[in-house]
Amino acid sequence: MATNAKRQTVEMYIEEKRVQGEEPVCAYVYDLEKLRDHANTIKESLPDFCKLYYAVKANPDQHLLEVLAPTVDGFEVASEGEIHKVNEVGQIPMIFGAPAKKDCEIEAAIRDGVGYLNVESFQDLNRMLYLAEQKQVKIPILIRVNLSSDVPDSHHMMSGVPSQFGVDEADIPDLIEKALQSDHVKIEGFHFHAMSNNLNAKAHVRFVETCIEKSRKWQEQFKLEISVVDIGGGIGINYWNPGEPFDWATFAEGIDHLGKIVGNLTLVLEIGRYMTAECGFYVTEVLDVKKNHDQYFSLVRGGSHHLRLPAAWKMSQPFRIHPVEEWRYPFERPGVLNAEVTIAGELCTPNDVLVRQNSVKQLRAGDIIIFEMAGAYAWTISHHDFLSHPQPEMVYLNK
């Protein structure tokens, strides 16, 4: 959660913006100092055999990438566009991982010296072999494994279940054999990104241990000279109960204890949501408060076209209310006291919901709502052009 000082800073921005004009307040506010401190804390907590990568897909905002670049060991990218965004920040190590790669993306990864490309299927490998042979290069690859079992209580399962991601664990030996037949790829290790938004630190440590053990097994079986075990990301943010976050200290301690089985391998973490979620705030003004069929609704300037995650996950985004006492209109000000309210946006669809029947002490038209934990999978996953509303302002708070 935001510190009191930063709460005041965000709210000072709101007050400054309110007096500038009559347009309703609507903005993303990023606390870059908070992001910098959080990234440093994560990095310093990890043992020396770990490399910390930032998963660019969580939030590719250039300001955030520039803040993270001096701290992280590299960036995980999933498109040619993300490669270009990282290159604009500087010459930083990259891992390319995506389930459906285009030829131009593989070629861009080769051209720009991406450190590793993950292999998601036999077709993926065949296309890499074909392009590498044409260019007479050797591509360093990580084989992405869809494990037979996985962490069952994570929010989104990508492994251990039928999915479009990775190579079925049962097929890994055949894929290794095929890769070893070519001089145009080098198996550098295995990639296990398997879940999204896991909140159980101890379960995540057990998952990492499984990844290391599987990698060691294939290393010995095929006499591979591998160097990397990439466990992906998947560490969660508790949107439902922010007071009980993922226990990073327990996770980092558990990782440290795995050093005895890691040996000379490097353990790569691709942290996305957990890195940036809490540095971002979506700030928007209440336009109306109304009652329909005995339920109260607050309508805001903005909505799921700016912040899609709560609608996609059918959850309530954590929020706080910034009360505004002034009311500039000569007519009655709508509002509620001590009631459950659904907060909805300005779109012409009943799916445009950011908060579902949460209790508020007071909420009125003209008040400002500050949605917290909006720094990841928020603006860039949203359908910005629906109804052609103006986009929110982007604001960056720094020292």
Active site residues: 348
Compute the distance between CA of residue 247 and CA of residue 252 in angstroms, rounded to an integer: 9
What is the rounded (10 degree) CA torsion for 231, 237, 241, 247? 50
Distance of CA 76 to CAs 32, 52, 315, 342, 345, Å?
20, 10, 28, 37, 33
Alpha carbon 21 to chain centroid, angstroms: 34
> What token pair was written down for 353?
């919901």
Q: Which two tokens stand for residue 243?
A: 């007071």
Q: What is the 3-state secondary structure (H, E, C) of the chain?
A: CCCHHHHHHHHHHHHHHHCCCCCCCEEEEEEHHHHHHHHHHHHHHCCCCEEEEEEHHHCCCHHHHHHHCCCCCEEEECCHHHHHHHHHHCCCCEEECCCCCCHHHHHHHHHCCCCEEEECCHHHHHHHHHHHHHHCCCEEEEEEEECCCCCCCCCEECCCCCCCCCEEHHHHHHHHHHHHCCCCEEEEEEECCCEECECCHHHHHHHHHHHHHHHHHHHHHHCCCCCEEECCCCECCCCCCCCCCCCHHHHHHHHHHCHHHHCCCEEEEEECHHHHHHHEEEEEEEEEEEEECCEEEEEECCCCCCCCHHHHHCCCCCEEEECCCCCCCCCCCCEEEEEEEEEECCCCCCCCEEEEEEEEEEEECCCEEEECCCCCCCHHHCCCCHHHCCCCEEEEECC
